Amino acid sequence: MSQTPDRITILAREFTAAALEFHRGKMAEKGYVMEGSITSRHFQMIEGGEAPTDLFDGQPLFAVTFRKKDEV
C-alpha cells in the first residue's frame, strides 16, 4: 500500500484558507486534484451506540477534499 493517502480533507475556519490550500500545499505537484466543492459543514462524532456529539465546539468549518488523480 502506498505511503501517500488516496484522499486528504482539509478543514478551515475561512473559505479563503481552504481555497488557497491547493496552491500553498502544492497539491497538484503531489498528484492531487480537488474532489467536489468547498463547503461549510457541521461535524459530529459517533462512538459506539451513543448519540452524535458536536466536534469543534459545534462551529461549522469549510472542508475541501483532495484525491489522487488516478483514484475515483
Asked if residue 51 is part of any domain, the answer here is: yes
* Mean pLDDT per 10-residue interval, the chain, length 72 residues: 83 95 93 94 96 97 94 63
Asked if residue 2 is part of any domain, the answer here is: no
51 contact partners, CB below 8 Å, separation of at least 6: none
pTM of this prediction? Answer: 0.82
11 phi and psi, to 5 degrees? -110, 140
Domain range for residue 33? 7-68
Q: Is 29 helix (H, G, I), strand (E, B) or coil?
A: coil
50 contact partners, CB below 8 Å, separation of at least 6: none
38-67 CB burial, b ≥16 within 10 A, e <16: beeeeeeeeeeeeeeeeeeeeeebbbbebb
Structural domain tally of the chain? Answer: 1
What is the per-residue pLDDT for 3? 77
